[in-house]
Amino acid sequence: MPSRATSTSASAKQLVLRAAQACVDNKADKVVVLNLRGVSDMTDYFVIASGTSDTHVRALGEHVKEELGQAGQRAYHEEGLAQGRWVLLDYVDFVVHLFHPALREYYQLERLWGDAEVVPLRAHGASA
């Protein structure tokens, strides 16, 4: 079984930002980090990003897994990587959602979790 993603909220936030940066570095669109602490008990953060195609979404998922793997983290659960429409990487303390643009528009996770604080990203190309 994979190790828990983090042991403290500070290290969880560092890993979340590392995952978001991996998305930015690989040309993801509309990268957003939501702080769900106090809003939901299921996880602390969401990283939400879009690719430009199924292939791009799959590649983003692989890049995030590789980047976090270098930090010694493996996803506890993953879905959708083969299809590339909506990739979900669950690291327990945070979940990475990578969407094809049409599905992101349809599911509107940012709107669904509208009470969550948006965590600012310092990287160029990232939007909050």
Q: For 30-69, what is each residue's pLDDT tens digit?
A: 999 999 999 999 999 999 999 999 999 999 999 999 999 9
In the structure, what pLDDT confidence band is assigned to residue 73 with cuts at 50, 70 and 90? very high
Query: What integer pLDDT is reported at residue 127 of this predicted model?
Result: 44
Domain presence at residue 124: no
Domain presence at residue 115: yes
The pTM of the full predicted model, rounded to 2 decimals, is 0.87
Domain total for the chain? Answer: 1
> Each residue of 90-100: pLDDT tens digit?
999 999 999 99
What DSSP string describes 47-101? EEEE-SSHHHHHHHHHHHHHHHHHTT---SEEESTTT-SEEEEE-SSEEEEEE-H
Using the predicted structure, report yes or no on whether residue 18 has a pLDDT greater than 60.
Answer: yes
Integer Cα distance of 120 and 103 in angstroms? 24
Query: What integer pLDDT is reported at residue 10 of this predicted model?
Result: 60
Domain presence at residue 50: yes
Beta carbons within 10 angstroms of residue 66's beta carbon: 10
Domain presence at residue 28: yes
Integer Cα distance of 66 and 24 in angstroms? 14
Q: What is the CATH number of the domain that holds 32?
A: 3.30.460.10
Domain presence at residue 89: yes
Domain presence at residue 3: no
